[in-house]
Structure 1
């Protein structure tokens, strides 16, 4: 009987210990869950262009968490971009990949984390007889952004097809929106442009057609394994050193947001109109040809190096005089 009482007492004590531990663990969990994360403030910025679109989705869904306060800014000029890139307070900045290289080579403390926009350059015409590069001989070709990648890549492709600028073909520079309007109104016949302005020029004018997708033309010359990297995301190294986990989370969520953008063109168009003021119907139509595809910069090194070498040979200052070294590329 005495032995039985001792066993019962031991059982009660064990139960009390287990229950007590359980309560203690639950209280610990409550304390952990109740402990608020320290609020982090970051700046995300980009142009009114495809690489910015996934950022809008991330803001709408609080993809980085409630404790991350995002200040979103649009950059409209090279001057604004340079000011943001050289300021240590900016967090994630969407830029052309040649600009990223130029900034890095000029001593700005940044890394390229991903490439998200590829190709997105096209040559269109309203001339039904123009189908080959040779058909451009003796013509006037309108191009946006003098000395920028659209200009450099166009001149590279023209040269590869035996056409010399200034002798065999005349180039006239304008803005993407002005070119789109002139093509649409049939004021000009031959134009190189980027999306979504190519789509804009085709709306209400069935004569406008794309004759050269620069990605296809690039592959014919460079090889099918090479793509044209257009734009990506850069971060300052200060942020990376102080909050590597946030950078890792950003990359994961940006890729998800990019995939969502492609799968939901209507909703994406509405977001772009809300934040950037671009026409939602135009964006919805253009989504399939915006060249959006996520690739971490370290994985896109082969494409980037080939692209940088081409730009370097045509206009060295477009990437800061040299191809970036290994420290330019972000690794998880």
Structure 2
């Protein structure tokens, strides 16, 4: 069997992770030698009961092969439980993990219909649904896990950033929209300038000291924190700010199912939900094995372990997370309608078993 660690190494070299564990069971039984006398044959026949025949048939019938399904996920916190789940296959599904890097890649895979499950930011799923693509939200698993930080440790609040520039990963996405919302609510629209870059570029510039303030997600932020020996100020914890404003957590990432495939695979979906939930709960326990995830992220396991304290992983089905998700979409719709596809998703967006 190809080990999970070997497959992670292939992911780092080729950009694609394939965890493939084939489960097939087959039992064989030897026949008893036939007795030579007719009396013995008669006795054996009399002792053969329907229950014994059923047991013999069950022994000779091969175990049903698990259904192979693919989960596409970005290299984000949703990948952590996914790898643990794939390493513990069930009798129902055999989970294969592959990663996507760009929306174009994700769109092509969805159009090809070759992935049953897709992990993506919630607003991305809403956009895909608005475009008529066959996606339905089945769960939310990542909440908050995003921070506005400063290398100037004297900066502690948004008000302290007046007259400064904050760098954000990409224009028009949730980090941008949520930052603009918080800045506006604080009455600092004209005082804080927002600029846009990529996460790798921001990480380099923060480490070099050429920029001071940026919005970064975990677990990459913990890598920077370790590189700078902790000399960072956490100006805004987006989940804490959301909690303070609305009394609920900030939903960020979920898993979607191909709605066409879902029509005839409800048992597989239920098995996936159960398997992923168990893996998520395992991943947040002290001492959880994060080796495979650390390799996939390309960071030391010690850094990822530290980051787990700042990553909020919590499993909620689409129905359970509906209130938080609708509220999140409502804010995005008001601030940047295009970020959710121009309208709130209807009931069909939420998978119902």
**Separation (CA, whole Å) in 1 of partners of 2:144 and 2:196:** 20
Q: Which residue of 2 aligns with 1:112?
A: 137
SS in 2 for 1:242: coil
Q: Which residue of 2 aligns with 1:216?
A: 240
**Which deviates the most, 283-292 or 18-27?**
18-27
Structure 1 unaligned regions, length at least 5: 1-15
The one-character-per-residue Cα deviations of 1:239-267 (angstroms, maximum 9, x if unpaired) are 21121100000000000011111115562
Structure 2 unaligned regions, length at least 5: 1-44
Q: TM-score, normalised by structure 1?
A: 0.87
SS in 1 for 2:49: helix
Matched-pair contact (CA < 8 Å) for 1:124–1:209: yes
Q: Which residue of 2 aligns with 1:130?
A: 155
Q: How does 1:135-284 map to 2 (within 5 A)?
A: 135-164=160-189, 167-205=190-228, 206-222=230-246, 224=247, 226-263=248-285, 267-268=289-290, 270-284=291-305
**Which deviates the most, 278-287 or 311-320?**
278-287
Larger radius of gyration: 1
SS in 2 for 1:219: helix
Find 2:107's aligned residue among 82, 86, 90: 82
Find 2:324's aligned residue among 289, 296, 303: 303
SS in 2 for 1:135: helix
Q: TM-score, normalised by structure 2?
A: 0.82
Matched-pair contact (CA < 8 Å) for 1:184–1:208: no
SS in 2 for 1:159: helix
**Separation (CA, whole Å) in 2 of partners of 1:93 and 1:104:** 13
**Which deviates the most, 113-122 or 270-279?**
270-279
The one-character-per-residue Cα deviations of 1:256-308 (angstroms, maximum 9, x if unpaired) are 0111111155621x111344534433212111211111111110011001100
Please, what is the CA RMSD of the aligned residues? 2.2
Q: Which residue of 2 aligns with 1:73?
A: 98
Matched-pair contact (CA < 8 Å) for 1:97–1:230: yes
**Separation (CA, whole Å) in 2 of partners of 1:88 and 1:259:** 29
**Which deviates the most, 128-137 or 301-310?**
128-137
Count matched residues: 310
**Which deviates the most, 271-280 or 88-97?**
271-280
